[in-house]
């Protein structure tokens, strides 16, 4: 611990960011050993928690829908590091790890999946409906894409409650590549741009909408360009926690300053199938998954 507070400057490389209608942030980051160990601890906990959910689901102790997040931990961890609890967060049904980062204990997460009263929402929500208003986490959503209009409402509330001229808390609304072409996402983005709402529309692109590869279900695989000629965007390497943090600091500053919304695409990968009912091997090879792991 003697060197824990010593600053380390790192160059993330030229392939971490790609932008649309806006200049890219610097690829140089400053961190500390202490900070890196904190991220390792959080992401390792998230990974072990999700693997435990897999084991308990197969033992039939967890029932119903269950969508695991292993492989994508750097996205949520890096985003959380760049945000404060004043910022609002809503995401899809793949939400166990975000609930953990937003204040729920591992015991509360697992308890919720078991249907116990000590669970995050008293055992009444289950895998897809975690919630923690005290820390501005507005949950997972069971309906594909439905969280994005709610995220626009959260952004509207944040702007409404902030005195004119001051920086606003942002609202982040997450969705997967499978939901990216839904009309409600563009309708939300359109309103956010009209009213200059501090909304971050972030796509966790894990390359498969359920079992369908992005090249088969989307004519535009560059989701960060979805804003067309009016809303800027950025793509980030979602497997690098420091890159995600740097990206979100950049995006937060833009949106909180009254410039309106931004599309963000995190290039990531899930190691499990879409849900526990999907083995994840019928539409991709074990070699592909193993290659990403390496």
**pLDDT tens across 102-116, in order?**
999 999 999 999 999
Percent of the chain with pLDDT strictly greater than 90: 98
The pLDDT tens digits for 234-254 are: 999 999 999 999 999 999 999
Q: How confident is the model at residue 294 (pLDDT cuts 50, 70, 90)?
A: confident
Cβ–Cβ under 8 Å, residues 155 and 192 = yes
Q: Does the reported pTM lie above 0.75?
A: yes
Q: How confident is the model at residue 5 (pLDDT cuts 50, 70, 90)?
A: confident
Relative orientation angle of helices 33-58 and 106-114, to the nearest 10 degrees: 20
Left (φ > 0), alpha (ψ -120 to 50) or beta: where does 72 sit? alpha
Q: Give the mean model confidence (pLDDT) for residues 109-134.
A: 97
Q: Please say if the pLDDT value at position 202 is more than 90.
A: yes
Q: Please say if the pLDDT value at position 165 is more than 80.
A: yes
Q: Give the mean model confidence (pLDDT) for residues 74-87.
A: 98
pLDDT value at position 2? 47
pLDDT value at position 133? 96
Percent of the chain with pLDDT strictly greater than 70: 99
Q: Please say if the pLDDT value at position 1 is more than 90.
A: no
The pLDDT tens digits for 253-286 are: 999 999 999 999 999 999 999 999 999 999 999 9
Mean pLDDT computed over every residue of the chain: 96
Q: Give the mean model confidence (pLDDT) for residues 124-150.
A: 96
Spatial CA neighbour of 100 closest among 128, 129, 125, 130 = 130
pLDDT value at position 287? 94
pLDDT value at position 154? 98
Q: Please say if the pLDDT value at position 160 is more than 60.
A: yes
Q: Please say if the pLDDT value at position 4 is more than 70.
A: no
Cβ–Cβ under 8 Å, residues 28 and 12 = yes
Strand order in the sheet with 262-267: 17-20, 233-237, 262-267, 199-205, 171-176, 88-90
Q: Give the mean model confidence (pLDDT) for residues 70-88.
A: 98
Is 258 strand, coil or helix? helix
């Amino acid at each position: 611990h003697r060197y824990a507070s010593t600053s380390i400057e790192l160059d993330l490389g030229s392939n971490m960011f790609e932008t649309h209608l806006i200049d890219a942030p610097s690829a140089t980051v400053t961190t500390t050993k202490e900070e890196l160990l904190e991220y390792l601890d959080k992401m390792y906990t998230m990974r072990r928690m999700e693997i435990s959910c897999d084991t308990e689901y197969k033992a039939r102790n967890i029932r119903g829908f269950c969508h695991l997040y292993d492989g994508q931990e750097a996205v949520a961890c890096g985003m959380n590091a760049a945000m404060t609890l004043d910022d609002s967060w809503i995401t899809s049904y793949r939400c166990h790890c975000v609930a953990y980062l937003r204040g729920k204990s591992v015991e509360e997460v697992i308890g919720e999946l078991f249907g116990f009263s000590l669970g995050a929402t008293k055992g009444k929500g289950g895998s897809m409906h975690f919630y923690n208003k005290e820390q501005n986490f507005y949950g997972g959503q069971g309906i594909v894409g439905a969280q994005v209009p709610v995220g626009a409402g959260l952004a509207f509330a944040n702007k409404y409650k902030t005195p004119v001229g001051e920086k606003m808390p942002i609202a982040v609304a997450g969705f997967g590549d499978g939901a990216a072409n839904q009309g409600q996402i563009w309708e939300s983005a359109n309103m956010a741009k009209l009213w200059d709402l501090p909304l971050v529309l972030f796509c966790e692109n894990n390359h498969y909408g359920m079992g369908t590869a992005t090249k088969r279900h989307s004519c535009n695989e560059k989701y960060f360009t979805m804003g067309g000629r009016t809303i800027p965007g950025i793509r980030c390497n979602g497997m690098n926690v420091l890159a995600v943090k740097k990206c979100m600091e950049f995006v937060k500053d833009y949106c909180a300053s009254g410039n309106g919304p931004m599309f963000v695409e995190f290039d990531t990968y899930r190691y499990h199938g879409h849900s526990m009912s999907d083995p994840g091997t019928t539409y991709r090879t074990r070699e592909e998954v193993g290659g990403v792991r390496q």
